[in-house]
Structure 1
Amino acid sequence: MNITSFLVYCIIVTFTPGPANIAILFIVHNFGIKKAMEYTYGATIAFGILLVISAILNTALMMIIPKILIVMQIIGSLYMLYLAYQIYKMDVSKSTVKQTTTFMSGFLMQFVNPKIMLFTMTVIPTFIMPYYTETSALAIFVVIIIIIGFLSFITWVLFGTIFKEVLKKYQKFVNVIMALFLVYSAIMVSGVVDLIKR
């Protein structure tokens, strides 16, 4: 097993901007570290559950993966567009917006996050199962991947904390930029670009 390739793949996928990372940056900017950490814990636990499901059901999932990917692309894209709209129009003075900063919203976001779904369904069969199939080995690698994912979320929390004052000064501009990132993510995972290229 090429440990370097495995780690590089995990770090690139988890640390690069994605729906959960952008949401964490937004939450720490508008609601602080405590709320961002609450969301992060939910996202991390869901990430772990998805990895465990991938490890346990890998063979069965490979048979039906095209159907799962299409459904997740559609649901994930629509959810990201919804989040983009919420971020764009958000007025942080209203208490109703705090519902998107909860543990449960972080948890549920991972189940409709195509980036994470694709990652969890590919990392284990591609990098681990050709070399290790014992339950104990799979469990160790799942824990390693969860730690990498959690560290990526924490990095985004720290980034948001360090640049909080700059982000506050340009709040509307930042909201628009983050909303556009989510729209871009939604378009890229929806499969629309591939259809246009054909």
Structure 2
Amino acid sequence: MNIASLILYCFIVTFSPGPTNIVILSTTHNFGTKKAMQYTYGATVAFGILLLLSVLLNSLLVTIIPKILVVMQLIGSLYMLYLAYQVYKMDVSKPMDNQTGSFWSGFAMQFINPKVVLFTMTVIPSFVMPYYTDMSALMISVILITIIGFLAFLTWVLFGTLFRDFLQKHKKAVNVAMALFLVYAAVIINK
């Protein structure tokens, strides 16, 4: 097993902008670090569960991935467009209270986020299972990859926290930019 390739793949996929990371940044920007961390905890738990499901159901999923992939792409794209609309239409002049920064919204997002679903369905079968099949090695892999994902989410929370003043000063422009990134992600998934 090429551990360097596995780690590089995990870092590139989890740290790169995607729907979850953009929502984390938006939540930090609009609702603060505490709400973003609630969302992050939910996203991390779901990320770990998806990795675990990939390990446990890999042989079954291999036969039905094409059918699941089409449905996940459609649902994920529609959800990202919905999120983009929500971010765009936020009234930046009023104090905000929203459920997008909750544990459960972070948790649910992972199951319909095509980037995460595709990553979790491919990383363990591609990098680990060809070399290790015993459950302890697979569980260690799930834990380590989940930690990498959590670190990626924390990086986006930190970015939002460090640049909060700038983001607050340019709130509408930032919301429009984040909405456009979500629309772009929704379109790219279906190419």
TM-score by length of 1: 0.94
> What is the CA–CA distance in structure 2 between the aligned matches of 1:180 and 1:155, rounded to whole Å?
21
| Aligned-partner Cα distance in 2 for 1:101–1:33 | 9
State the number of aligned residues.
Answer: 190
Unaligned 5+ residue runs, structure 2? none
1:74 maps to 74
For 1:88 and 1:32, the matched residues in 2 are separated by 18
1:124-174 alpha-carbon deviations (Å, 9 max, x no partner): 110000000000000000000000000000000000011100111100000
- 1:121 paired with 2:131, answer no
Corresponding residue of 1:106: 106
Partner of 1:133: 133
| Aligned residue identity for 2:174 | V
Distance in 1 (CA, whole Å) between partners of 2:167 and 2:70 is 36
The percent identity for this pair of structures is 67
Q: TM-score, normalised by structure 2?
A: 0.97
Correspondence for 2:186 = 186
Distance 1:94 1:82 in 2: 21
Tell me the secondary structure at the aligned position of residue 51 of structure 1: helix
CA offsets 1:37-68 (integer angstroms, 9 cap, x no match) = 00000000000000000000000000000001
Partner letter of residue 120 of structure 1?
A: T
The Cα of 1:94 is off from its aligned counterpart by: 5.5
Partner residue, 1:158: 158
- Offset at residue 100 of structure 1 (A): 1.1
CA distance in 1 between counterparts of 2:91 and 2:10 reads 35
Find the counterpart in structure 2 of residue 88 from structure 1.
88
CA offsets, 1:4-49, max 9 Å, x none?
A: 0000000000000000000000111111110000000000000000
1:17 aligns with 17
**Cα distance between partner residues in 2 of 1:41 and 1:190:** 28
Runs of 4+ in structure 1 over 3 Å off: none
SS at match of 2:100: helix
